[in-house]
Amino acid sequence: MDDTPDLFTPDAWYRLGRGPRYEQLYRHISAAIGAGDLPPETQLPPERELAEIAEVSRVTVRKAVAQLVEDGVLEQRRGAGTFVRAPRPKMEHSLSALLSFTEYMRQRGKTSASRILRRGLFLPNPDEQIALGLAGTDRVSRVDRLRSADDMPMALEWSSLPVDILPDPEAVQTSLYDILRAAGTAPTRAVQRITAVNLIGADARLLNLPDGAAVLRIDRTAYLPTGRPIEFTRGLYRSDIYDFIAELRLDQTP
């Protein structure tokens, strides 16, 4: 524990204009744990001491620590203190299950929410025309959303669907797939293309990440059982939270 106080002095974690202090402290401790600067079983200085070193109030420390406890990276042991937990696997997102964001978060005991950034009916752009098999004169229903789980921003998603599949984009509250399911038009197959990209500008701010942070970009085209493409969604997913797992099987057909 001897070297740990240096990790918490303000110059190590605080930057003006980069968000509330508790959030910056939270991100800093989280990154230090991820980088191995605070190995498992390291004991954090007590709250009062940490507040003094970090030059913040105890409330700020408490909020940051509470979030880290919730994330499962810190553990509070009664009467003993706060310790770094042994690493837990990241959220594994199976690539073979066709899950919606809402279902995926529910499986992990988290409550998802959507902030609508923009929605409406538009003429399709070339990417949408190709993915959805639309003519330039058709209309496309678009919903752009910031997705969060337990109030933490997780992903940005730009979804486009043919207008007969989603006639009213205003109907999307939290889950797009719930609406499709209710209409009997939920996709049963999807193809995804995954790329690593660096965030800039507004996208970084919306996801609460610094400029240049690496995220996963996933383009999903989803199909009805008939083979008709009905959803094209481009999403940016926080790579510090998501781990996409693909299961591979040996093809045993002769």
Site for ligand 16G in 81-100 (CB under 6 A): 100
CB 92, min distance to ligand 16G, A: 13
Q: Would you call 67 helix, strand, or coil by DSSP? A: helix
Give whichever of 69 and 98 is closer to ligand 16G, judged by the CB atom: 98
Question: Looking at 7, 113, 134, 218, which residue binds ligand 16G (CB under 6 A)?
Answer: 218
The answer to whether residue 233 forms part of the interface with ligand 16G (CB under 6 A) is yes
Distances (CA, A) of 26 to 11, 29, 98, 218, 232: 15, 5, 32, 27, 35
CB 159, min distance to ligand 16G, A: 5
**Which residues, at least 6 apart from 85, have a Cβ–Cβ distance to it below 8 Å?**
40, 72, 73, 74, 75
The answer to whether residue 177 forms part of the interface with ligand 16G (CB under 6 A) is yes
Give whichever of 63 and 147 is closer to ligand 16G, judged by the CB atom: 147
* 191 vs 103: CA distance, rounded Å: 18
* 63 vs 25: CA distance, rounded Å: 9
Q: Contact 148/115 with Cβ under 8 angstroms?
A: yes
Q: What does the per-residue mask of binding to ligand 16G show for 102-121, with x meaning CB under 6 A?
A: x-------------------
Binding stretches for ligand 16G (CB under 6 A): 100-102, 157, 159, 175-178, 192, 218, 220, 233, 235
